[in-house]
Amino acid sequence: MFTGIIEALGRIESIESVGGDRRMVFRAPGYLRGVQLGDSIAVNGCCLTAASLSDDGFMADLSAETLNLTTAGRWEAGARVNLERALTPAKPLGGHMVSGHVDGIGELLERYEDARSTRMRLRVPDALARYVARKGSICIDGVSLTVNDVEDGPGKTVFGVNIIPHTLAHTTLGDLQPGQAVNLEVDLIARYLERLLQARSDGA
């Protein structure tokens, strides 16, 4: 589990194709103190396993499913990535409960300045639209955010978020431009609530 509060910005050092999967090396000097082999690290919202460690980075294997169902299949060497180590009992839960299992890929449609903040509007896949609610939580490329508003339209749902200067400066959201794809993870509570209501309906 994670919180969606980004701890550091890393960089993809190398990408290697291995038997249909990919092996990636991520560089993050000074960030990996205390990380053990096999620990989970969220990279742009994708929960990855540290398969090997070095003084300033780690290597992870990415399966074909991860490459197909997240933006990881589009990552390139040299790109910056958001990093967060797994939640521990001593870690403050400053964002919301995040599993690191990406639900789908969204697209940034628009960004514009609003006072000192930046507003972003994103398209969400139809299958996830019912989980996105005004003032609910959503995770974009591993960043915990609050949904400002939701617009439902024929064949598409668009939602808006507000990005404060600190988040722009300390995550990859500052680099994001219209047309780019992002990893989305919807609120776990919304998923559990839907499952609970479905069970009650089936038992009625």
- Summarize pLDDT for 79-115 with one digit per residue, the tens: 999 999 998 877 777 888 899 999 999 999 999 999 9
Cα–Cα distance, 69 to 74 (Å, whole number):
11
- Summarize pLDDT for 120-153 with one digit per residue, the tens: 999 999 999 999 999 999 999 999 999 999 998 7
Residue with tokens 């047309």: 179
Q: Which domains does the chain have, with CATH numbers?
A: 8-85 (2.40.30.20), 104-199 (2.40.30.20)
Going by pLDDT thresholds of 50, 70 and 90, the confidence category of residue 71 is very high
Q: What value does the mean pLDDT take over residues 59-88?
A: 96
- Rounded to the nearest integer, the mean pLDDT of the chain is 92
∠ CA 4-136-142, nearest 5°, is 20
- Summarize pLDDT for 24-37 with one digit per residue, the tens: 999 999 998 889 99
Question: How far is C-alpha 120 from the chain's CA centre?
Answer: 15
Cα–Cα distance, 78 to 113 (Å, whole number):
27
